[in-house]
Amino acid sequence: MPSNEPRGPRQIARAFRWSMMGLRAAWRHEASFRLEGYLFVVLFPLGLWIGHGPIEKALLTGSLFLVLSAELLNSAVEAIVDKASPEFHELAGRAKDMGSAAVLLMMANVVLCWGLVLAPRLG
């Protein structure tokens, strides 16, 4: 089905601009995202420095991107749930809890990746 939406570089530029707006909104309104962002700023260069070879560097740094991504999705779920139904509802609570659980799993992934890469060097 043809669309009147612009294609190519203009659409890419618009998508990039919207993504930057989303990152700014998360930074401004989400304390958890800011905390994870601060950890990212510290751990990302550390991961590049201590990782031996491209695979280790990718595991150490890539796991950090997953936490930020999960936090953005969790915040989006929470925002839309609050907009749709400000009063408590079991399904709304479940959706928020599941989003939070996704962030927790990604944080566990960071600990696992960093632990598996660093453990042989420490012991």
pLDDT in tens, 14-53: 999 999 999 999 999 999 999 999 999 999 999 999 999 9
Angle, CA 3 vertex, CA 7 and CA 11 arms, to 5°? 20
What is the pLDDT of the chain when averaged over all its residues?
A: 94
**Residue 85 assigned ligand-binding role:** no
**Residue 36 assigned ligand-binding role:** no
Using the predicted structure, report yes or no on whether residue 4 has a pLDDT greater than 90. no
Whether 62 is in a domain gets the answer yes
Residue matched to tokens 């089905």: 1
**Residue 52 assigned ligand-binding role:** no
Residue % of the chain over a pLDDT of 70: 95
Whether 24 is in a domain gets the answer no
Whether 17 is in a domain gets the answer no
| Cα–Cα distance for residue pair 36/40, rounded to 1 Å | 6
Using the predicted structure, report yes or no on whether residue 1 has a pLDDT greater than 60. no
Whether 114 is in a domain gets the answer yes
Rg (CA), the chain: 18
Q: Indicate whether this model's pTM tops 0.85.
A: yes
Whether 72 is in a domain gets the answer yes
79: left (phi over 0), alpha (psi -120 to 50) or beta: alpha
Whether 10 is in a domain gets the answer no
**Residue 100 assigned ligand-binding role:** yes
Residue 122: per-residue pLDDT: 87
| Cα–Cα distance for residue pair 85/102, rounded to 1 Å | 22
**Residue 78 assigned ligand-binding role:** yes
The structural domain count of the chain equals 1
Whether 77 is in a domain gets the answer yes
Residue 40 domain boundaries: 31-122
What stretches of 1-123 show up as alpha helix (H) in DSSP?
9-29, 31-50, 53-84, 90-122
Whether 11 is in a domain gets the answer no
Residue 2: per-residue pLDDT: 56
Categorize the per-residue pLDDT at 87 as very low, low, confident or very high, splitting at 50, 70 and 90.
Answer: confident
Eight-class DSSP state of 87: S
Catalytic residues: 71
For residue 72, the domain's CATH number is 1.10.287.3610
